[in-house]
Amino acid sequence: MSANEKGARMMLKVVFWDMDGTLIDSEPYWHAGEMEIAAAHGGYWDQDLAWAGSGTPVPQVAQRMVDHGCQLSVDEIGKGMIDYVARAEAAHMPWIAGVTDVLRSLVEAGVPSVLVTTSPRHLAQGLVDQAPEGAFAGFVCGDDDVEKKPSPAPYLAAAKLIGVAPEDMAYCVALEDSMSGLTSAAASGATTIAQTGYIQTDTSNGPQFASIDSYDGVTAATLDAFVRRRVGGVAE
C-alpha cells in the first residue's frame, strides 16, 4: 500500500504542532535564559514565574520581567532570550521522546504536519530543518502578521497555508501543551490534544478533546482515531 493510499483512507487531514513542550522539551532553555538575564540585570525571576509564561509570546514574558525589576527594555530582554535559546537548540535540539517516530509515521501515511508556534522565525526554521525529512509542509510563527495565541488565528492561518477550509478543522489534530495554546487550537475548531508530560501547569480543565502524556505507541492511525471519535461525537 502506498503512502497516498494510506492517507486517502484516513479522515485525518493534517496535524498541527505547537513547538515548545510539544515537539521539543525546550522550556528549560527558555527558563534558564530568562533567569540568567534577570539575575544579570537586577530583576527577580523564579521557576514559578517562568512556567506561568509558558506558551506566551516573548514580548509579554519580557514585559513581566521588566515588571519584576529587570533593568533592560522589552526588546533587549526578548533578543537576549531568543539568542540564548537559539544557541542551545543549535547545540542540541531537545526532541521529546518518541515524537520523531510520530512525525515519520505521518510522513509514511501521507499526512502533512504544520508547525504553529509563537517562537520567532529562525527558531521555527531551525526545528523544521532538523526534523525528519519531509515532515513539515510549513509553519506559522511569532514573526508572522497574525494575532497570537490564545486567539484561534494562528491555527486558522496554518489551515489556510495547507489548504484546509475552516469548516474542516475537526478533521485536523492540533497538539498543544499550554492553556494558551489549547485555547487557541480548540477555538479554531481543530481536534485538540493536550500533551501533559512536559509542562508543570495543570491543564486538566482545558478545552482539549483528549490528553496524552507521552508519544509511546502514538502513530498516524492513533491521531486519525481521535478525529474519528471527535467527528462521531464520542468524547474522551
Of 145, 42, 55, 129, nearest in space to 89 by CA: 129
Whether pLDDT at 236 is above 70: no
| Domains in the chain with CATH codes | 3-24+96-231 (3.40.50.1000), 27-91 (1.10.150)
Strand 210-212, strand 14-17: pairing: unpaired
Q: pLDDT-derived band of residue 2, with 50, 70 and 90 as boundaries? A: very low
Question: Three cell numbers at 33?
Answer: 535564559
pTM assigned to the model: 0.86
The H or E element that residue 224 is part of is helix 220-231
Q: Helices (DSSP H) in 53-208: which residue ranges?
A: 58-67, 74-91, 99-109, 121-130, 153-162, 179-188
Q: Exposure of 235 by Cβ count < 10 A (0-12 exposed, 13-18 middle, 19+ buried)?
A: exposed
C-beta of residue 18 within 8 angstroms of C-beta of residue 117: yes
Residue tagged 461525537 (cell numbers): 233
The 10s digit of each residue's pLDDT in 108-153 is 999 999 999 998 999 999 999 999 999 999 999 999 999 999 999 9
Q: pLDDT-derived band of residue 183, with 50, 70 and 90 as boundaries? A: very high
Q: What's the CA gap between 77 and 83, in Å, rounded?
A: 10
The 10s digit of each residue's pLDDT in 211-225 is 999 999 999 999 999
Greatest extent of the chain over all pairs of C-alpha atoms, in Å: 61
What's the confidence (pLDDT) of residue 57?
83
Instruction: List, edge to edge, every strand of the sheet that includes 210-212.
Output: 136-140, 113-116, 14-17, 172-176, 191-195, 210-212
CA dihedral over 164, 166, 170, 174, signed as positive or negative: positive
The 10s digit of each residue's pLDDT in 8-22 is 589 999 999 999 999
Q: Helices (DSSP H) in 140-219: which residue ranges?
A: 153-162, 179-188
What's the confidence (pLDDT) of residue 3?
46
Which own/partner pairs from 222-225 qualify as long-range (CB within 8 Å, at least 24 positions apart)? 223/12, 223/15, 223/102, 223/106, 223/111, 223/173, 223/193, 224/10, 224/11, 224/12, 224/111
Rounded to 5°, angle at Cα 222 from 226 and 117:
75
C-beta of residue 111 within 8 angstroms of C-beta of residue 14: yes
Whether pLDDT at 189 is above 70: yes
What's the confidence (pLDDT) of residue 9?
84
Q: What's the CA gap between 190 and 169, in Å, rounded?
A: 5
Whether the bond between 150 and the residue before it is cis, its omega within 30 degrees of 0, is: yes
Q: pLDDT-derived band of residue 234, with 50, 70 and 90 as boundaries? A: low
